[in-house]
Amino acid sequence: MALREHDSDREAILVVDDEEAIRQTLASFLRQSGFDDIVEAPNGEEALKALDERTFALVITDISMPVMGGLELLARVRRTHPETDVAVITGHLELEFAIQAIKNGAFDYFKKPFRFEEVLSTIHRVFEKQHLQRRSLELELLKERRKSEEAHLKEFMLALAHIIDLKSPYTREHSDRTAKIARMLGESLELSADEVERIALGARLHDIGKLGVPDCILDKPGPLTPDEYAIMKEHPARGAELCRPISCLQPVVSMIRWHHENLDGTGYPDGLRGDQIPLDARIVRISDYWDAITSHRSYRSPMSTDEAIRVIEQECEAGRLDGDVARHLFDCVRSGMMKKVQAPATIGLI
């Protein structure tokens, strides 16, 4: 049984690899990078012994090892030490095992020969996620005693949304723009001020679940493989579950979970159809879509305003997007209101 977590354990890292040279090189690099609490283990069994003696924030493990391999170690850690995240190291011929590890709860994976900056990026994301989870729990407990903490919870979650955008140079300010577009649409649809504020908040938080998506998938310059796409498609449900325990965010959970649902049932994660998708989720869906296709992405250049309008019109004609919401979007574009919101690369193209 692991001992109770101390503050010093919050940045403790366990490096597991049967190849001593790789293990020691990685551990030495991490120590030189400012991570002082590094423990090494040559296989899964020794790693479990270390985990039973104390708490670790992160386990970095090779997949192919004698005695106990990385996938079995991952399963044991998820079952007995759920507070610990796991990243796996895989060779070029073992990529399917890395994808399986992600599906089984690994936080990230690295392909040999891995780049040290990738390892550092994952470690920082793990620490950010765990800090935010601890902070979320702390603030929830405070909320039970003081209703004024609602404002702090909202600020905390908005900071988390900002972290999501900063994960990739291609998504910088995406959530903020999506929220501004959603607010504009809510006002155009003549919704109440409270409803507009709620929708704008949901739009700001819609991609929170991407915190758990590996950078190599988020920033991939080409099409995703079916397995990679399956991992990407998990982010709406993950985001909803992250926000669900926070009472002041209950009104926006549905928008976070359903912002990739389509009216014809082809969306995800629940395949909702028609009126099963509430108006707020439809507004966030089309706001997110507009900003995505008019902004730079790792796999393509932004569309012009006219091209984006044609694409949205085609999606409406195919029965995937809400035509009434789209008409209000086009009104905002043609009136010039969108220039205040749209990514700089597309301004003035209409």
Q: Please write down the HEC assignment for all residues of 20-81.
A: HHHHHHHHHHHHHCCCCCEEEECCHHHHHHHHHHCCCCEEEEECCCCCCCHHHHHHHHHHHC
Q: Half-sphere exposure of residue 282, counting CA atoms within 13 Å on the CB side?
A: 28
Q: How far is residue 126's CA from residue 120's CA, in Å, rounded to a whole number?
A: 10
* Catalytic residue list contains 210: yes
Distance CA 169, CA 15 (A): 29
Q: Please tell me the distance from the alpha carbon of residue 245 to that of residue 210, in angstroms, as a whole number.
A: 18
**Distance, CA of 25 to chain centre:** 30
Q: Which amino acid is at 101?
A: A
Residues in the chain: 350
Residue with token string 């507070």: 83
Cα 61 to Cα 29, 45, 129, 238, 326, distances in angstroms: 15, 12, 19, 24, 48
Give the containing element (helix H, strand E) for 315. Answer: helix 305-317
List, in order, residues 6 or more apart from 184 with CB less than 8 Å away. 332, 337, 338, 341
Choosing from 49, 103, 210, 339, the catalytic residue is 210
Backbone CA torsion sign across 4, 6, 10, 16: negative
Across 63-154, where does the E strand assignment appear?
85-90, 108-111
Active site residues: 210
